[in-house]
Amino acid sequence: MTELRDLELELSRFRRRVAAAAAFVLVAFALLLARLVYLQVFRHEDLATQAEANRIAVVPIVPNRGLIVDRHGVVLATNYSAYTLEIASPRGADGGRGADLDALIDALAGVVSIEPRDRRRFKRLQEELKGAESLPIRTRLSDAEVARFLAQRFRFPGVEVKARLFRSYPLGEVGSHLLGYIGRVNPAEKAAMEDWDEAEQGNYKGTEYIGKLGLEQSYERVLHGTAGFEEVETSAGGHAVRRLDSHPPTPGDKLVLSVDIKLQALVEALFGERRGALVALDPRTGEVLAFVSKPTFDPNLFVDGIDVESWRELNESIDKPLLNRALRGTYPPGSTYKPFMAMAALNTGKRSPGTLINDPGFYMFGGHRFGSPENERGGIMDMNRAIVESSNVYFYTLANEMGVDLMHEQLEPMGFGRKTGIDVEGEVTGDLPSTAWKRKRFKRPEQQRWYAGETISLGIGQGYNNFTMLQLASATATLTSGGLRFKPRLVREIEDVISGERKGVASDALEPLPFKAEQVEIIRRALQGVTQVGTSRGSFVGAGYTSGGKTGTAQAVGAKANEKYNAARLEEHKRDHALYIAAAPIAAPTVALAVIVENAGWGAQAAAPIARRVFDYLLLGQYPSAADIAAVREGRATAPIGVPRRAADVPLPGQAMAPVAAGAAP
């Protein structure tokens, strides 16, 4: 009996357990069913969209960057396709196993050639582009190297060969400062892009390179083009298996410059190893014909990341090859300032052309002696002779009569002390002093006060005066053209590479200055006299046109009191600068220029000969002989020597001078 009761008790417990288990299973199935109903009915559309997104990837297609050509169609910046070897993420390039990156690169070096400079460039990119998806360890792989790597790709997880477009500057260092260069987008630029509107951000999806300097930077949006996209079906591992749809990118537009690159290359050759700048422009339109800064650099070095040694060489050089001297270098104008002072005197009535001033070779003011060059003849000066013979005393006295604020009022509209508005970023204002300028410039009260003695040296382009060659060339164009003013332009036209349509980019005309024709003629005659009987006559002997100009010599460092200047005793970088301004034909100028040769001494010896060759090229179609170029760059030529060549027959360095076909794609 007892055994029967125990059996029934056990059966009762078993049944309860079975019932509990069945209830649990039913509840679980009910929950599962409810979840399935929720996912299939209520979340169907949302989950279907996510599933499609996981299956389909939208991949941006970066457009070809637009070409840059000169006024004659010579290609200055183009693109080419090449393979790169890239490490996807240096920290995880080994598939997450934490192997040493150097060991990985050593292993890669057994498959493709990796030079020490490649390693240095890679490490530099690591520091500058933290967070980048991939970094190149080698660029421009050969087909054989690509084949060798692909055959052993399984050994290198996280390392890929990619086909990329590279920017190329066929003429190397020629025109580097006006062209600029492109480089990888850095973190600061990525952060700045976050402030762009959605359309602009979308257009730069996948873009890894942007313009960093010069026209490449200033016309970035024009050159970039419009990004395309591809819809691709991907596998579970994220690999593309099928293209579903595509929208091709639109290449960037072509920039057609006003610059004549053969003239640009000639001027750079005439400078040789010397430092300086030259800007030549058309006074009738504001178009820039040459925009030279020396020394130059090779922009190709920056395209795929410059190596440490090359960067250090450029960045730490005492010659500052990365400084755009035409745009950002500021210098005292020296005696080239005198014609502008003369026009200000005529415009204000402070001096008439026939006013006579005695020049004894010095000027005393406040107990201080303001001197003149030893070779200055002195004597009785009217305005014409004062400009032709470059009398310091004449302009010392004029500055004293006008005062600093009146000089500022008259000279600022000519283009001094303000930006010209040229279509390239980075221009500086220079310094055109006034009493207000000094109060703003300095902090201490005793520094803010303007002293009468400071005015005197301003008359001969010294003191606080500091301007760029762009400002000086623009002011020369305004003065010799009778008051015409333009914002200078480097880009002449923008061409749509799809339609071939060209849109002209006119220089913005500013309100002309109210110069009187007879006063302009007085200045022109004086400038012409400089080239015929004055300081630059030696450079313009036998010229087939009439030009006007003014030489100048400007201090690079201030001279000590009562110490006579002696170039031989000074370090080369501390010697005086040589300047020259000019326009031709002087009666109705079609070209105006300003040139400086740093630490070269007299403008007549170093700067004026360069101007002569520019005019010969533009007005006569002549290209100097090889012997003449060598003599100019060594500072031992005035008038041309040897037989000049036809400019059209002289090719560019390393180029056959074949112009690009209109509308050609990059």
> Cα angle at 294 between 291 and 298, to 5 degrees?
90
Whole-number Å distance between alpha carbons of 458 and 438: 14
Please, which residues have CB within 8 angstroms of residue 183's CB and are 6 or more apart in sequence? 209, 210, 212, 302, 303, 305
Question: Between the CA of residue 416 and those of 346, 407, 461, 468, 582, what are the distances in Å?
Answer: 18, 11, 12, 9, 17
Element (H, E) at 179: helix 176-179
Omega prior to 63 cis, within 30 of 0: no
Q: How far apart are CA 557 and CA 552, in angstroms?
A: 15
- HEC profile for 431-453? ECCCHHHHHHHCCCHHHHCCCHH
For the chain, the first-to-last Cα distance in angstroms comes to 104
Confirm whether 390 is a catalytic residue.
Answer: no
Beta bridge partners of 255: 68, 494
Task: Encode 29-96 in three state secondary structure.
Answer: HHHHHHHHHHHHHHCHHHHHHHHHHHHEEEEEECCCCCCEECCCCCEEEEEEEEEEEEECCHHHCCCC
Residue from 336, 343, 350 nearest 398 by CA? 350
Rounded Cα–Cα distance for residues 404 and 450 (Å): 9
3 by Cβ neighbours in 10 Å (0-12 / 13-18 / 19+) ranks as exposed
d(CA 226, CA 252): 7
Q: Which residues contact 425 (CB under 8 A, 6 or more apart)?
A: 217, 218
Token pair in block for residue 135:
């970094």
Catalytic residue among 218, 258, 293, 335: 335
Kindly state the helix (H) or strand (E) to which residue 221 belongs, with its residue range: helix 220-224
Q: Give the gyration radius of the chain's Cα atoms.
A: 35
- Measured between alpha carbons, how far is residue 214 from residues 269, 291, 471 in Å? 21, 11, 18
Contact assessment for residue 322 and residue 299, using Cβ atoms and an 8 Å cutoff: no
**Structure token digits, residue 240:** 């593309």
Strand partners, 84: 162
Cα–Cα nearest to 167, from 60, 229, 82, 253: 82
Phi-psi region of 371 (alpha: psi -120 to 50; beta: other; left: phi over 0): beta
Long-range Cβ contacts of 606-609 (<8 Å, 24+ apart): 606/274, 606/578, 606/635, 607/276, 607/551, 607/552, 607/578, 607/579, 607/580, 608/535, 608/536, 608/538, 608/539, 608/540, 608/549, 608/551, 608/580, 608/582, 608/638, 609/270, 609/539, 609/637, 609/638
Separation between Cα atoms, residue 502 and residue 506, nearest integer Å: 12
544: its two tokens = 């087939």
Task: Give catalytic residues, as residue numbers.
Answer: 335
